[in-house]
Copies of this chain bind each other. A is one copy, B any other.
Amino acid sequence: MALDKFFNAKSIAVIGVSRDPNKVGHVIFRNFVDGEYKGKIYVVNPNAESILNHKAYPSVLDIDDDIELAIVAVPAEIVPKVLEECGKKKIRHVIIDTAGFKEIGNYQLESKLENVIKKYKLKVIGPNALGVYDAYSKIDSLFLPRFRMSRPKEGVISFVCQSGAVGSSIVDLATAEGYGFAKFISYGNAVDVDESDLIEYLGDDEKTRVICVYIEGVRNGRKFLDVCRKVSKKKPIIAIKGGVTEAGAKATLSHTGSLAGSAEIYFGAFKQAGILRAENLEDLFNYAKILEKCIAPKGGKMQIITNGGGYGILATDATAKNGIKLAEFSKEIKSELRKQLPQLINIVNPLDLVGDATSGRYRLSINACMRDKNIDILLVIVLVQTPLIATDIVDVITEANDLKKKPIIVVSAGGEFTEIMRRNLESNGIPTYTYPEDAVRAVQQLAKYYKNK
């Protein structure tokens, strides 16, 4: 694959590593030194002997080794010269972090880059980009200190983001919430490699199971549609579009210089291409989580189990608002549960196991749902504040989920104790949500993706 080296290069040169620890190039190189990248790294700085105990070379041309990837952080006006040197050195893959091109009206400088790219047949991400973070190879061109932005653990979500700030802060947040990532790419001005190239690449990437995208505009609508139509048949693409209102679209112009275009056109295109649309950043990863973890449901009928009546009601309200069908117990399962559960429990949907529910009561009910042919999806609400829910509730739910018969989604809201349970469920492959509304909206996307597919 033409883009492979961005994520798997065995030798990397960082060009423009300042001594100043606040400067972009220094932060990038510091992250390689502190990080876990296993390949070879080289510093380019014509005005230094060595930086962070690594010998500094005046130019890539002075390095006596093959370089597979260059990361550029020199001032904008000398980027064309540096890129030319990369071409001569036969470095085919270059990430340009430097800003100061098209996004501030500097079209001429950006077109100089285009010429060099053509001349040497380079693959370039950027300029005005954070570039790449690969959670497996640990290639990391993000100029954000690690203590400010934590790097995610290995996972199966990849995130393609036009905006560096949105991308880095959301990856930081998602990392804190326990999400794992495969690849994160902030592609900036897209002088060469654009969103469609990246989505196409991720479509074939074995590490990536779900693709998340933040875009303000696309460079080539036809190409974007073709690529997404093809990729979304293989794995889910979830996208959020910045600038969907008139005022928002106006603001995109001075950000990435994108012509945002009419929201309706975008939303129509998303639908045609099988892209799931997130309304906001929170939903983007709420959707990614369910699509990452859950198996395909056989149909759209959902059963709710709860030990908090109010949560059952809120979840039920959310199903009606989001077009999710409520399952009805089959006759056999209903009479089976009637015999096994206390009389005061109604065998309906939502199934309210009430405040003194034990893990055993959950086990009975969940297992029955697994066997009921009328039920396609199971939403388990479990509030662990009450004394009778033992910690083996995690095992109860995990065992049922491990049967891989139906998607199970968990809602659990609370503080530290709840968090421990939730983290355990998540690492056992069960998506969990704090709010019933978020869970139900995620279920809607799960059902939609597999129905379209």
Say yes or no: is A314 at the interface (Cβ < 8 Å to chain B).
Answer: yes
Q: Is the CB of A314 within 8 A of B248?
A: yes
Residues of B within 8 A of A168 (CB): 383, 385
Say yes or no: is A111 at the interface (Cβ < 8 Å to chain B).
Answer: no
Contact among B248, B310, B416 for A313, CB-based, below 8 A: B248
Of A317-325, A332-340, A398-406, the stretch lying at the interface with chain B is: A317-325
Say yes or no: is A172 at the interface (Cβ < 8 Å to chain B).
Answer: yes
Contacts A144-B385, A320-B246 known; A308 to B166 CB distance under 8 Å?
A: yes
Give the one of A164, A309, A313 with max B CB within 10 A: A313
Nearest CB of chain B from residue A356's CB, rounded to whole Å: 8
Q: Is the CB of B149 within 8 A of A414?
A: yes
Contact among B282, B312, B383 for A251, CB-based, below 8 A: B312
Number of copies: 2
Say yes or no: is A176 at the interface (Cβ < 8 Å to chain B).
Answer: yes
Contacts A383-B169, A385-B169 known; A416 to B150 CB distance under 8 Å?
A: yes
Q: Is the CB of B313 within 8 A of A251?
A: yes
Q: Is the CB of B144 within 8 A of A387?
A: yes
Nearest B residue to A434 by beta-carbon distance? B173
Residues of B within 8 A of A216 (CB): 310, 313
Q: Is the CB of B418 within 8 A of A169?
A: yes
Interface size on A, residues (CB 8 A): 84
Residues of B within 8 A of A145 (CB): 387
Q: Is the CB of B165 within 8 A of A415?
A: no
Nearest B residue to A256 by beta-carbon distance? B309
Q: Is the CB of B316 within 8 A of A414?
A: no
- State the CA gap A437–B314 with chains docked (Å): 21
Residues of B within 8 A of A386 (CB): 144, 148, 165
Q: Is the CB of B254 within 8 A of A352?
A: yes
- State the CA gap A288–B282 with chains docked (Å): 20
Q: Is the CB of B176 within 8 A of A415?
A: yes
Q: Is the CB of A326 within 8 A of B254?
A: no
- State the CA gap A326–B214 with chains docked (Å): 24
Q: Is the CB of B176 within 8 A of A280?
A: no
In chain A between 324 and 365, which residues have their CB closer than 8 angstroms to a CB of chain B? 326, 344, 346, 348, 350, 352, 355
Say yes or no: is A243 at the interface (Cβ < 8 Å to chain B).
Answer: yes
Say yes or no: is A91 at the interface (Cβ < 8 Å to chain B).
Answer: no
Residues of B within 8 A of A61 (CB): none
Say yes or no: is A163 at the interface (Cβ < 8 Å to chain B).
Answer: yes
Q: Is the CB of B317 within 8 A of A417?
A: no
Residues of B within 8 A of A310 (CB): 161-163, 165-167, 214, 216, 242, 255
Nearest B residue to A161 by beta-carbon distance? B310
Nearest CB of chain B from residue A388's CB, rounded to whole Å: 6
Q: Is the CB of A314 within 8 A of B435?
A: no
Q: Is the CB of B413 within 8 A of A309?
A: no
7 smallest CB-CB distances across A and B, nearest first, come from A165-B308, A163-B310, A255-B309, A245-B320, A176-B415, A166-B310, A248-B317
Q: A165-B355, A255-B312 are in contact. List 6 more A-B contacts (CB 8 A).
A: A104-B344, A148-B417, A150-B416, A176-B414, A255-B310, A281-B435
Using a CB–CB cutoff of 8 Å, the interface residues on chain A facing chain B are 22, 27, 99-100, 104, 143-145, 147-150, 161-170, 172-173, 175-176, 214, 216, 242-248, 250-252, 254-256, 279-282, 307-314, 316-317, 319-321, 326, 344, 346, 348, 350, 352, 355, 383-388, 412-419, 434-438
